[in-house]
Structure 1
Amino acid sequence: MMTRRRFSGLALAAGMTAALAANGSAVAADKIVLGDMNSYTGFASFTIPYKQGWELALEEINASGGILGKQVTVVSRDDGAKPADAVTVANELVSREGATLLFGTLLSHVGLAVSDFAKQKKVIFIAAEPLSDSIAWQKGNRYTFRLRPGTYVQAALLAEEAAKLPAKRWATIAPNYEYGQSAVAAFKELLKAKKPDVEFVAEQWPALGKIDAGAAVQALAAANPDAIFNVTFGGDLLKFVREGKVRGLWEKRTVASMLGGEPDWIDPLKDEAPEGWLVTGYPWYAIETPEHVKFREAFQKKFNDYPRLGSVVGYAALYSVKAAMEKAGTTETEKVVDAFADLKLGTPLGPITYRAIDNQSTMGAYVGTLTVKDGMPRMVDWRFGKGEDYLPPDEVVKKLRAKE
Structure 2
Amino acid sequence: MLAIILGGIACFSPAGAETARAADDVIKIGEINSYTRLPAFTEPYRKGWQLAVEQINNSGGVLGKKLEVIARDDGGKPGNAVKIAEELITNEQVVLLAGTFFSHIGLAITDFAKQNKVLFIASEPLSDAMVWSKGNKYTFRLRPSTYMQSAMLAREAAKMPIVKWATIAPNYAYGKDAVNAFKTVLKELKPDVEFIEEQWPALFKIDAGATVRALEAAKPEGIFNVTFGGDLAKFVREGSIRGLFDGRSVVSLLTGEPEYLDPLKAEAPEGWIVTGYPRDFIKEKMHVEYVKAYQDMFGELPQTGSLVGYNTILTIAEVIRKAGSTDTEKMVAAMKNLSFDSPSGEVVYRASDHQSTMGAWVGKTTVRDGQGIMVDWFYADGADYLPGDEAVKAMRPAD
TM-score interval, smaller chain:
over 0.9
Asked if structure 2 preserves the Cα contact closer than 8 Å seen for 1:25 and 1:97, the reply is: no
Distance in structure 2 (CA, Å) of the matches to 1:247 and 1:46: 29
The structure 1 residue matched to 2:149, chosen from 151, 154, 177, is: 154
Asked if structure 1 preserves the Cα contact closer than 8 Å seen for 2:252 and 2:274, the reply is: yes
Say if 2:301 is the partner of 1:313: no
The residue aligned with 2:348 is: 353
Say if 2:231 is the partner of 1:236: yes
The residue aligned with 1:341 is: 336
Shift, 1:322, TM fit: 0.3
The residue aligned with 2:288 is: 293
Distance in structure 2 (CA, Å) of the matches to 1:217 and 1:373: 26
Give SS of 1:285's match. helix
Aligned length: 385
Once the two structures are superposed, the pairs formed by residues 144-223 of structure 1 within 5 Å of their partners are 144-223=139-218
Shift, 1:24, TM fit: 6.9
Displacement over 4 Å in runs of 4+: 21-26
Say if 2:323 is the partner of 1:328: yes
The structure 1 residue matched to 2:376, chosen from 369, 381, 393, is: 381
Asked if structure 2 preserves the Cα contact closer than 8 Å seen for 1:24 and 1:94, the reply is: no
Distance in structure 1 (CA, Å) of the matches to 2:240 and 2:395: 40
CA distances 1:346-370 after superposition (whole Å, capped 9, x unpaired): 1110011111111111111111101
The residue aligned with 2:99 is: 104
Say if 2:385 is the partner of 1:390: yes
CA distances 1:225-273 after superposition (whole Å, capped 9, x unpaired): 1110000001111111111111111111111000010011121111110
Distance in structure 2 (CA, Å) of the matches to 1:227 and 1:134: 27
Q: Which amino acid aligns with 1:328?
A: A
The residue aligned with 1:77 is: 72
Asked if structure 2 preserves the Cα contact closer than 8 Å seen for 1:25 and 1:98, the reply is: no
**Which structure: larger Rg?**
1
CA separation of 1:314 and 1:165: change in aligned 2, threshold 3 A: same
Shift, 1:152, TM fit: 1.2
Asked if structure 1 preserves the Cα contact closer than 8 Å seen for 2:136 and 2:397, the reply is: no
Between 55-64 and 27-36, report the one with greater CA deviation.
27-36
Asked if structure 1 preserves the Cα contact closer than 8 Å seen for 2:151 and 2:182, the reply is: yes
Asked if structure 2 preserves the Cα contact closer than 8 Å seen for 1:24 and 1:95, the reply is: no
Higher relative contact order (Cα pairs below 8 Å, separated by 6+ residues): 2
The structure 2 residue matched to 1:369, chosen from 347, 353, 364, is: 364
Asked if structure 1 preserves the Cα contact closer than 8 Å seen for 2:48 and 2:306, the reply is: yes
Asked if structure 1 preserves the Cα contact closer than 8 Å seen for 2:18 and 2:326, the reply is: no
Shift, 1:383, TM fit: 0.7
Distance in structure 1 (CA, Å) of the matches to 2:257 and 2:19: 38
Say if 2:248 is the partner of 1:253: yes
Once the two structures are superposed, the pairs formed by residues 39-54 of structure 1 within 5 Å of their partners are 39-54=34-49
The structure 2 residue matched to 1:304, chosen from 265, 279, 299, is: 299
TM, length-normalised to structure 2 = 0.94
The structure 2 residue matched to 1:59, chosen from 54, 61, 76, is: 54
Shift, 1:197, TM fit: 1.0
Distance in structure 2 (CA, Å) of the matches to 1:377 and 1:89: 38
Unaligned runs of 5+ in 2: 1-12
The residue aligned with 1:224 is: 219
CA distances 1:294-325 after superposition (whole Å, capped 9, x unpaired): 11111111110001110000000011000000
Shift, 1:28, TM fit: 3.4
CA distances 1:145-201 after superposition (whole Å, capped 9, x unpaired): 100110111111101111111121100000000000000000001111111111001
The residue aligned with 1:28 is: 23
